[in-house]
Amino acid sequence: MENREQQLQQYMRGTHRLGRLVSVVTLVLLLGAPFLIGAYLGAMPDLGAVARGFVAVGLVWTVSSVVEFLVYTPMLGAGGSYLAFITGNLINMKIPCAINAKDMVGAKSGTTENEIISTLSIATSSLVTILVLALGVALLTPLRPVLQSETLAPAFANVVPALFGAMGYKYYRQNLRLAAVPLVIMSILFIFVPSLTSSTSMMIIPSGAIAIGLAWLEYRRHIKEGRV
Amino acid sequence: MTVLERLSSGPVYLICGGIITFVAVVCVVFLVRAWRMGKAIGMDPQKMKQAVTASATFSVLPSVGILLGVIALSGSLGVPWPWLRLSVIGALHYETQVAAAAAEQVGLAELSGSLMTPQAFATIALLMSLCIMWGMILSTLFNSRYLKRLRGKSADAPEGAKKQGGFGDLAMSAMFVGMVSAYIGSYIGDFVSGAGKLAFAGSWTPLAVAAVSAAVMGLLTWLAEKKNLRWLDSFSIAGSMLVGMLAAVLIGK
């Protein structure tokens, strides 16, 4: 038992060390690439324009990144979150993918099993995306007319509704009462303030807070009734 | 050679492809470490295999959607840079928005290949990297401490609660319910008020796609649970999405 505990601690220490190292390396590579490509093209970035652009659009994304870090890190565990923040596409792929894998094998949040499953899931998902994009880029010329055809355009414009429809069924059936309240409140908000649809990803925060608040009340009630 | 042609030339492919390869290797290292650790602590290899299979099938369709983002941006930024951005760190909804805002800052009338200059590209590319790096920075600085703190809190929970995953597990599911509700709510709002408040004349396609996808998910879950076709579990999300997306094609006709 002690040996298992030691192994786990060693694994977690290794994951954090590796995660920090590869995050820093990726960061340097991503920030260095524009300079490298610029050198090849014979021009360097205009740092004044970069600063102005950052103030114009970057600050919003900085706030969004802080929220994403606070919300998704506990969902994904250590290994999964290092990988997810490196590979991106969190809301439209990595988070639902990891949650689906976790539920499928019945892993509980915060457990070692969840840490392992989440890492396996995010790593697999990232590799599939890298592979699909690499194949797509290699076959860009023959694929372009198919993927950009008018017939298929509605399908690719609706990947996210298709994803959240399927995931919605899965989660709503588990606890209809918990799901109904945020859904009704969000629907009313979007109906009466239609401009909010352009910032749906930010509306996840109040919607999630309502659902978590209701879950907390339910949890307290179950504890009082001795059902937990 | 135009700037756009140079942006899709060998050296740029080499730079971007090299970074993507590095990230792919990182993913393989994390995958192998997690698999070995899972085996070492006695996790069922079948469960781990199921998680990998389900995640792989789950990711194919959204990845094709992301590929469309690469195609969309390739007309103004060449192929390799959007390929890198959307393989590593980027997000489909983010890239186009930031690229367009960055183009405005460098004085381009629009994000267009014909207007692109070497300096405009380098500036846009740097801004795209800079704006979305915060998740990675926060993760590097605080991941370990943040998770330790949360674990410390869950250690105070009652023993029975800990065995069942405690409130943390319920909170994660609730957060996800909140996320789904925000999106479904936005589709309802878009249909009801998208073309004028309470006009019921907005786009109903996303709502119909979500409904079809949910119905197929219901059918596949029923088959898996009642007809004991457990193997369907690994493909149910991908299958439901596929049918939902097909419904969008039919609606679009």
pLDDT in tens, A79-130: 999 999 999 988 888 999 999 999 889 888 778 999 999 999 999 999 999 9
What's the confidence (pLDDT) of residue A177? 84
Residue B229, phi then psi, degrees to nearest 5? -95, 65
Of B134, B162, B183, the residue that ends a domain is: B134
Q: Which has the higher per-residue pLDDT, B1 or A189?
A: A189
Same domain, B8 and B130: yes
3-state secondary structure of B196: coil
Number of domains in chain B: 2
Residues B121 and B176 in one domain: no
Last residue of a domain, one of B134, B156, B187: B134
Same domain? For B121 and B189 the reply is no
Candidates A5, A30, A91, partner chain B, best to mutate (most B CBs within 10 A): A30
Contact between B31 and A124 using a beta-carbon 8 Å cutoff = yes
d(CA B103, CA B67): 22
Report whether B88 contacts A26 (CB < 8 A).
yes
Q: What is the pLDDT of residues A162-182, one digit of tens each?
A: 989 998 998 899 888 889 999
Kindly determine whether residue B105 and residue A77, on different chains, have CB atoms separated by under 8 Å: no
Looking at the domain assignment, is residue B159 inside a domain? no
A215 has pLDDT over 80: yes
Q: Is A197 exposed, middle or buried (0-12, 13-18, 19+ CB in 10 A)?
A: middle
Residues B195 and B73 in one domain: no
Closest-CA residue in chain B for A102? Answer: B51
The answer as to whether B44 is a domain residue is yes
Mean pLDDT of B216-245: 90
B150 located within any domain: no
Q: Are residues B224 and B104 in the same domain?
A: no
| Domain assignment of residue B130, yes or no | yes
* Same domain? B129 vs B7: yes
The answer to whether residues B60 and B183 belong to one domain is no
The verdict on B144 touching A (C-beta cutoff 8 Å) is yes
- CB contacts of A227 in chain B (<8 Å) are none
Q: B252 to chain A nearest CA, in Å?
A: 6
Residue B46 lies in a domain: yes
Q: Are B49 and B121 contained in the same domain?
A: yes
**B123 & B206 share domain:** no
Quick check: B62 contacting A, CB < 8 Å?
Answer: yes
Interchain contact, A93 vs B81, CB within 8 Å: no
The last residue of a domain, from among B134, B149, B180 = B134
Residue B161 lies in a domain: no
Distance from CA of A10 to the nearest CA of B (A): 10
**Structure confidence at residue B11 (pLDDT):** 97
CB nearest to A69's CB, from B138, B197, B242? B138
- CB spacing of A158 vs B248 below 8 angstroms: yes
Residues 6+ apart with CB under 8 A from B51: A101, A102, A104, A105, A117, A120, A121, A124
Tell which residue, A74, A71, A163, A208, has the closest CA to residue B66.
A163
Does residue B174 form part of some domain? Answer: yes
Determine the structural domain holding residue B106 and report its residue range: 3-134
**Residue B158 is assigned to a structural domain of this protein:** no
Measure in Å the smallest separation between the Cα of B135 and chain A Cα atoms. Answer: 5
